Structure 1
Amino acid sequence: MKFFSTVTPLVLAASATYVSATSLTNGYNIIKSRQAKVHRDLLDVCVGLDADLVLSEIIQDGKALVAGHLDVCLCVSLIPDFIKVNVVAQTAVNLLGVAKVSALIEGLINDDPGCQHCTFPEHGQSVCAPDWPCQFQCQDGYSPYTNPGDAHPSSCSCPAPMTECNGQCGNFPNGCGSAVPAPPQRRSRHATFGAAKDINKRQVGESKCPVDKQVCGVPGGNGGWECVDTKSDKESCGGCMTPSTIGVYHPATGKDCTSIPNAVSSSVECRSAACHVSACEAGFVPSAANDACVPVSASPADKRFFNWQEASEAVTKKAKAVGGKRDIVAAANADIRGMVKLGEGAGLVKLL
């Protein structure tokens, strides 16, 4: 009974200590979860590879089989994507499997004397280059910054007068909200002439675009972007007119159908990612492909010259040789003159 009375306080004390420690830990975790998460710099190992991919497990004619030669700048983090598209890697995968080939390529990178341990800053994406394996490009509107005396940039900065807002660098005249701000609506180049634009035709201000639209940059928008249907938008037909700084970089491949020379603006459309012209200004007609306006008549150099006098004399001479009558000769000459006039009116021939 005495033993029980001694042990009980000890057990209760230990339990109280455990409960107190657990409460403190839970409280710490709650506070930690509410704190802002600072993105750490990304670490990677990159190198310009120039080596054979040797499969030592497969012996052929007394030698290890060589799947092929790798001449590419590659980082360890990109190996999973690389082996999906590289022919040499795919050959090796068919023989050894993905895991072993991944390990082989990682070994080539780490064992290469030219490999570099790279630190990529926030907003920086690796673009491995043989002369600088740790090369990166800045996204989200940020610009690369090189410290004085350094050969290469080491961070992505947001230069003045632009400001940062929710992970974006740009101009935010209305302040920074709690979500990714919407860039200004793109203004038509014809806005100074009072042309009304449908401001609701694009979805702007979303971090992702619908599957049927493409993320395009905004001209002069300093990192702004918009969702554009490049299959039907006549100002960005077939692609973006301005590359976007959001996501994967795509060059400007679009065409502004409204800028086609001599085309009637109201008759221009973008059909299936191609400009279509249905009407042109006076003196021009749509081309055979309906993607441009061409002159109505051909140039004088393209016309076929017709000597009416020589043709008439030839008809008369032939008719007399066969004993033709005067009215028949006159009718033939009239037919020739009529055909020539039609051709001349259509821009096909020219009388001498």
Structure 2
Amino acid sequence: MFVSRLSAVALVVSSALAGTIGWKRDICGLVDADLTLDTLGVLNVDYGHIGPICLCISGLSDFLTTNAIVAVPVQLLGAAEVEAALGVLIGGSPVCNSSPSTRKRDTYVFNDNMCPKGQSLCGIQSSWTKTDWECIDTKTDLESCGGCVLGVMGTPGDGVDCTAIEGVEDVACAAGHCQVFSCASGFRVSDCGTTCVRTSHHT
């Protein structure tokens, strides 16, 4: 553990130096593991599960101030200790970013191979960073039907939120298409059965 933490500190220091000298490469890992830390004489205290999430060394400072799981160990042990532990997790996780970029920021490589078969990689609307994602079965998911409503890195998706159809009351997602069963007063199910259409106008 001592050697691993030294390696993590080295990663953090290297990242800081990289920012100072203008080096654009970052170190990112697809973290999906428990955060365990020795605390007040107790070995391997489990503070909770991190991930699955693509974490980068350059983003750890923000992560420490926004993630609920790390809040307690940060208070007990300090940010540097927790950051070092996260560095260990990043270093031991599959890489989730591209090769060094010539642009100001590195780009991330995301694809559906990161999800179970039959599911798609979609962005999370309320996440703290655009790199957060989840695996969704877009053939049946009500809020991402036929595709992701939000793509990774904040890009627009091509899916449909069936629950957001105007006037809809009862709806399902079947084979990647919204299937409307009933509509609110003033609407009726469309002939194609995928939307609600107005039957009267209200002033």
TM-score (norm 2): 0.48
Where relative contact order (Cα < 8 A, 6+ residues apart) is larger, the structure is 2
Max radius of gyration: which structure? 1
TM-score (norm 1): 0.30
